[in-house]
Amino acid sequence: MSAFANILIGGVFHAAVLFLVAAGLQLVFGVQKIINLACGSFYALGAYFGVTFIAYATQFGLSPWLIFPGLVVAGLLLAVVGPPIERMLRSVYGRDESFQLLLTFALVLMFQDVFRFVWGANPRSLDNAYLIYGTINTRDFGVPVYNLLVIAAAITTAATLGALLTRTNFGRIVRATAENRAMAEALGVDVRRIYSVVFTLGAALGTTAGALIVPTAAASLNMAIEFVVEAFAVVVIGGLGSMRGALVGSLIVGLMRAFAIVLYPEFEVLAIYVVVIAVLLLRPAGLFGKPVA
C-alpha cells in the first residue's frame, strides 16, 4: 500500500508540472492557433531565473521558508518575455503551421544559446531549498512537502484558470476570440491586445512551472526539449486547445509513466505513446478536443 502511494504521488507530481507547461501551450493554441514549441524554453527560462532570483534574494535576507513564494514571484516576473515574443509571432498568424513550427523551434534554439551564454553549460540548482519544508514519512511512505506544494500550486492554477475563462468578462472575451476572431473583432474586441495578454499568460505558466521545479531538480540546457515532447503528448491526448484536456492528459501521462517505471521500466516512454496512438486512432481530436470541420 505504501509503495502504491509512493508511486501515485510520484506520478501526480510529474503530472502537476506537466499540466502547468501544457496549460500554457493549450491556452495559446486555443486562442491564437499557434503551436508554440518554445513553451519548453519558457519552462527552462523559469528554472534558470529561479536559481538566480533566489540566490540574490537570499543575499538580501530572504527567509528560507519564503523560497516557494519567492520562486512563484520569479516565475511571474518572467511574464515580461511574453509581449515581445508575441509581437514576433504576429508574422505567422494565419499562415501554415510549418511557419509557426519553424519560428517557435528557432526560438527554442535561440533560448538554449542564451542560457548557455548567461548561465553556462553546467546545470544550476538550488541545493538547500528542496528539503527546507521537511518530508512526510510514515513507515515505507515518504514524500517531500515541497512536492505537495507544487501539486497544490498546479491544482490552484487549474481552478483559477477555469474560473478566469468561464466566470469573468475577460474569460468570455477570450473564449469569443478563440471561437471566432473576425466576429469578436467586429464586435469591438481588441484582438491584438487579447492575443498579447493570452500569450503572456501562457508564457507565465511555463516560467512559473520551471521556477517551481528547480529545487527538486536542476536547470539544464536540454530540459526545454525534454519537457516539450511530453507536453505535446499531453496535448494530443487531451485535445489541442482544451484546458480540461490539459488536466486529464497530464494526469494520464504522469500516472502512466510512474506505473510503467515500476512495472516495466523499459516501457516508460512506450506506455505514453501507446495511449497517444490509441487516442489518435479512436478519437483524433483528443479526449476533450473539438473535431475539425
Partner 1 sequence: MVEEARALTIYWDGTTQDGVDEKIPNPRYLFRSTDNECEAIMSSLLAIKYWKGKFVTVAGINPDYSYGRNNMAAFVAMLKRFNIDHKVVTEQWPKVGTMDLTSHVAALKAAKPDLIFSSLLFADLPVFMKQAHAAELTKDAKLVFPAAGWQHTLMKKEFTPEGMLFGHNTLYFANPNASALAKEFVAWYAKTYNDYPEWEADRAYFALASYKQAVEAASKAKNGSWPSQDDVIDALAGLSIESLGGKSSWRKDHIAEQTFVQGLTTHNNNYDFVTLGNFETMFASELQKPPGANFWEWIKTAQFKV
- Footprint on this chain of partner 1 (rule: CB under 8 A): 3, 6-7, 9-11, 13-14, 17, 122-123, 125, 127-128, 130-131, 135, 137, 140, 142-144, 147, 213, 216-218, 220, 222-223, 226, 257-258, 261-262, 265-266, 268-269
Q: How far is CA 261 from CA 1, 96, 227, 267, in A?
A: 17, 38, 17, 7
Side chain identity at 238, as an amino acid letter? G
Question: Quick one: 2 or 91, whose CB is closer to partner 1?
Answer: 2
Question: Quick one: 13 or 29, whose CB is closer to partner 1?
Answer: 13
Q: How far is the CB of 115 from partner 1 (least distance, A)?
A: 13
Is the Cβ–Cβ distance between 162 and 243 less than 8 Å? Answer: yes
Question: Quick one: 155 or 216, whose CB is closer to partner 1?
Answer: 216
Question: Quick one: 63 or 98, whose CB is closer to partner 1?
Answer: 63
Side chain identity at 5, as an amino acid letter? A
SS3 261: helix
Question: Quick one: 31 or 252, whose CB is closer to partner 1?
Answer: 252
Sign of CA dihedral 66, 67, 71, 77: positive
Q: How far is the CB of 104 from partner 1 (least distance, A)?
A: 21
Question: Quick one: 53 or 130, whose CB is closer to partner 1?
Answer: 130
- HSE on the CB side for 165, CA within 13 Å? 23
Q: Which helix (H) or strand (E) holds 137?
A: strand 135-138
Q: How far is the CB of 41 from partner 1 (least distance, A)?
A: 15
Interior/surface letters 108-126, b for 16+ CB within 10 angstroms, e for the rest: beebbeebeeebeeebbbb
DSSP string, 138-193: ETTEEEEHHHHHHHHHHHHHHHHHHHHHHHSHHHHHHHHHHH-HHHHHHTT--HHH
Q: How far is the CB of 130 from partner 1 (least distance, A)?
A: 5
Q: How far is the CB of 136 from partner 1 (least distance, A)?
A: 10
Q: How far is the CB of 267 from partner 1 (least distance, A)?
A: 11
Is the Cβ–Cβ distance between 52 and 120 less than 8 Å? Answer: no
Smallest CA-to-CA distance from 258 within 247, 271, 245 is with 271
Question: Quick one: 93 or 216, whose CB is closer to partner 1?
Answer: 216
Smallest CA-to-CA distance from 119 within 58, 216, 48, 55 is with 48
Question: Quick one: 8 or 176, whose CB is closer to partner 1?
Answer: 8
Q: How far is the CB of 19 from partner 1 (least distance, A)?
A: 13
CA 201 and chain centroid, separation: 11
Q: How far is the CB of 13 from partner 1 (least distance, A)?
A: 5
* CA–CA separation, 45 and 221 (whole Å): 10
